[in-house]
Amino acid sequence: MDSFEFNKILGAVLGVVFLAFSASLVSDWLFHSPAPEQAGYAIEETEVASSAAPEEAAVPIANLLQNADAARGETSFKKCTACHSGEKGGPNKVGPDLWDIVNRPIATHEGFAYSGAMKEFSQGGQETWTFEHLNDFLLSPKGLVRGTAMGFAGIKKDEERADLIAYLRTLSDNPAPLPEPEAEDATAQGEAGGAPAEGEQPAEGEQSGGEQPAPQDDQAQPQQPPVQNPDAPVEQPAQQNNAPTGDGSAQQPTQGEDTQPPSTDGNQPRPVPAQ
């Protein structure tokens, strides 16, 4: 290849580069849009208050475990095998081995680097993985241990969570005994028994503190008529004397007086009221 052909090829390459660079400059000049001084709307990040209470399970785990199925829990455990092993002496993965996890001191498994939040929660190994802690942690890991490195959303279904804990209990040479079920409504019924139901009126004469109501003023009390004694003799009205006079004629009652019937022992005429 002579120098003339080499110069043509080099000139063509440089020409293409120049045209591309020029097109870029021209397009930037034509379609230039300055950045706004202020954004159209500000996006504010809301932080969850650290003092918020952790999410707790509504039904006690002791009651859920009474009907839990470890076989179903083994199926649910398959989603955990991506980060945990469950065999005795198994290796640590993203998370520690879960063999003999029930009642094991928290953040003490040998060979695993726990997060600072988990170490703080364990209080130097004083806290253990009880059934209650396992239940709350599987419900919401970050709700129980804030700042934990476990990136798991949690299991919201009570039955699925209880089945998984029942299976974790079997991962041991000596499985821990099941906890006694709790009386769910015993406390609520005891509190409700001491107070009257809504809308129910207290019994007559019952006042708070055992005090009787003070008597009202005499003017407010209606006066009751006197009670008559049924054994007392009834006062009879005095009878008028309608006996005949000495001349044989009956005494006439005056006007306005009530007439009385004549005596029945004689043939006396019936007195006629005065007109």
What would the pLDDT profile of 106-155 be if each residue is shown by its tens digit?
A: 999 999 999 999 999 999 889 999 999 999 999 999 889 988 888 888 89
Q: What angle do CA 74, 176, 64 make, to 5 degrees?
A: 60
Return the residue matching tokens 């279904």: 157
One-letter amino acid for residue 255 of the chain: Q
Determine contact, residues 156/182, Cβ cutoff 8 Å.
no
Phi then psi for residue 36, to 5 deg, are -65, 150
Residue 201: pLDDT band with limits 50, 70, 90: low
Q: What percent of the chain has pLDDT over 90?
A: 31
CA-wise closest residue to 104 among 83, 84, 134, 79: 134
Give residue 246's pLDDT: 45
Tell me, what's the pLDDT at 127? 92
Task: Write out pLDDT tens, residues 28-76.
Answer: 888 877 776 765 555 555 544 444 445 555 788 999 999 999 999 999 9
Buried b (16+ CB within 10 A) or exposed e, 1-32: eeeeeeeeeeeeeeeeeeeeeeeeeeeeeeee
Query: Does the predicted TM-score (pTM) go above 0.85?
Result: no
Give me the CATH code for the 67-170 domain, please.
Answer: 1.10.760.10
167-184: average pLDDT = 88
CA distances from 152 to 8, 27, 142, 156, 160 (A): 64, 48, 8, 12, 15
Phi-psi region of 64 (alpha: psi -120 to 50; beta: other; left: phi over 0): alpha
The reported pLDDT for the residue numbered 38 is 65
**How far apart are alpha carbons 38 and 42 in whole angstroms?**
9
What is residue 70's predicted lDDT score, i.e. its pLDDT?
Answer: 93
pLDDT of residue 184: 58
Question: In Å, how far are 30, 237, 250, 258 from 240, measured between CA atoms?
Answer: 139, 9, 13, 9
